[in-house]
């Protein structure tokens, strides 16, 4: 859940991460602590709760709500496509592209019809393979077990250099609109089989 510590681990593992910094909430609201465009988010939250996107042409810094803690993460904005890839134990699944009318906020994640998923994503082989490689390396670097899901942004105008890992979800969603079950299904694993695999993988007798 600590995005900054996770980024430090990713960076040490040679994974491409987005420039970011931690700053007091009051300072983020007082001035641009980073050149726009950028994203402001809690350092230890999920489901896009409390995320603010500051546009390139923003004249003033964001007014942050009560959901933002006293210390906020400010992260450079990466344009492009939203990608995600799950890891089951020691193998990565196919990559999904998430398509939304705006950005992938809480509503887009959980509301029926809030987003559409292209699974597997229509990507150059190099990008698909890189996502799978990065997801597996992130899973291992963080010491994850069982199921995890890593999220990416890809600026296709920059090719492989435009692919960045944003974060790894160590308890990815298991709702009807969630991504990991959908990716498992694309790999031939039913929801029931996925649940059984998670339980069996968590056994002490392995």
Whole-number pLDDT of residue 138: 98
Note the pLDDT of residue 192: 93
Residue 31 reports pLDDT greater than 90? yes
Whether pLDDT at 32 is above 90:
yes
Can you tell me the mean pLDDT for 118-124? Answer: 95
User: pTM value?
Assistant: 0.86
Task: Supply the pLDDT for residue 66.
Answer: 84
Q: With pLDDT > 70 as the criterion, what percentage of the chain qualifies?
A: 89
Q: Give the pLDDT score at 174.
A: 87
* Of the candidates 143, 16, 140, the residue with the CA atom closest to the CA atom of residue 83: 16
In angstroms, rounded to a whole number, what is the distance separating the alpha carbons of residues 114 and 17? 27
Q: What gap in Å lies between CA 67 and CA 52, rounded to an integer?
A: 11
Mean pLDDT of all residues belonging to the chain: 89
Q: pLDDT, tens digit, for every residue of 66-109?
A: 888 899 999 999 999 999 999 999 999 999 999 876 655 455 55
Give me the residues paired with residue 59 across strands: none
Is 9 in contact with 131 (CB distance < 8 Å)? no
Residue 133 has pLDDT above 80, yes or no: yes
Report the range out of 53-62, 161-170, 171-180 with the highest average pLDDT: 161-170
Tens-digit pLDDT profile for residues 5-24: 999 999 999 999 999 999 99
């Amino acid at each position: 859940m600590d995005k900054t510590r996770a980024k430090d681990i990713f960076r040490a593992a040679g994974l491409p991460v987005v420039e970011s910094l931690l700053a007091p909430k009051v300072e983020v609201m007082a001035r641009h602590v980073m050149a726009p465009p950028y994203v402001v988010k809690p350092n230890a939250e999920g489901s896009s709760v409390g995320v603010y996107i500051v546009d390139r042409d923003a004249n003033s810094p964001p007014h942050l709500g009560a959901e933002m803690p006293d210390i906020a993460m400010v992260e450079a904005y990466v344009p492009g496509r939203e990608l995600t890839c799950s890891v089951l134990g020691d193998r990565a699944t196919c990559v999904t592209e998430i398509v939304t009318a705006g950005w992938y906020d809480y509503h887009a994640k959980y509301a029926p019809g809030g987003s559409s998923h292209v699974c597997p994503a229509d990507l150059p082989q190099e990008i698909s393979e890189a996502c799978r490689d990065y997801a597996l390396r992130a899973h291992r670097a963080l010491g994850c077990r069982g199921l995890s899901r890593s999220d990416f942004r890809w600026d296709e105008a920059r090719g492989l250099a435009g692919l960045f890992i944003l974060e790894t979800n160590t308890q990815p969603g298991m709702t009807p609109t969630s991504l990991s079950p959908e990716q498992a299904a694309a790999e031939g694993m039913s929801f029931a089989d996925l649940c059984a695999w998670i339980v069996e993988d968590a056994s002490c007798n392995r």
